[in-house]
Amino acid sequence: MSERHSVHRQNARWRIVDGETVVINLTSTHYYSLNKTGTYVWNLLLEGGQSVDDLAGAVAARYGQPLDVVRGDVRALIDDLRREELIVATEADREKRTPKA
């Protein structure tokens, strides 16, 4: 089963400034800065339902980088964002079984 990730909209607020994103965790009041590549990933996460492989493939294609290198970097970013409770994860097969209203 593949986890899918999306922004934890109830716990995070963000602004994009000059192509970079500043994210505030509303619970801890800590803020985080994402560079241009991190901002690209954040925008994909805003669409919801993104796996690490989905994200890595998109970043590799956009920036012309090897998928194996990008996958590790994206995994690290996703792990950081989850640890800080800025994104949430669900299992892909659960999403397929749950009818959308």
Q: What is the pLDDT of residues 64-90, one digit of tens each?
A: 999 999 999 999 999 999 999 999 988
What is the per-residue pLDDT for 81? 96
pLDDT at 98 over 50: no
Read off the pLDDT band of 29 (50, 70, 90): very high
What is the per-residue pLDDT for 90? 82
Of 89, 91, 93, 77, which is closest to residue 34 (Cα–Cα)? 77
Classified as helix, coil or strand, 91 is strand
For the full predicted model, state whether its pTM sits above 0.95: no
Q: How many whole angstroms separate alpha carbon 29 and alpha carbon 74?
A: 24
Q: How many whole angstroms separate alpha carbon 12 and alpha carbon 34?
A: 14
Domains of the chain: 3-88 (3.90.930)
DSSP E strand boundaries for the chain: 3-7, 12-17, 20-25, 31-34, 87-91
Read off the pLDDT band of 45 (50, 70, 90): very high
**Average predicted confidence (pLDDT) for the chain:** 90
Contact 11, 27 (CB under 8 A): yes
For residue 4, what is the DSSP state?
Answer: E
Q: How many whole angstroms separate alpha carbon 72 and alpha carbon 98?
A: 30
pLDDT at 2 over 70: yes
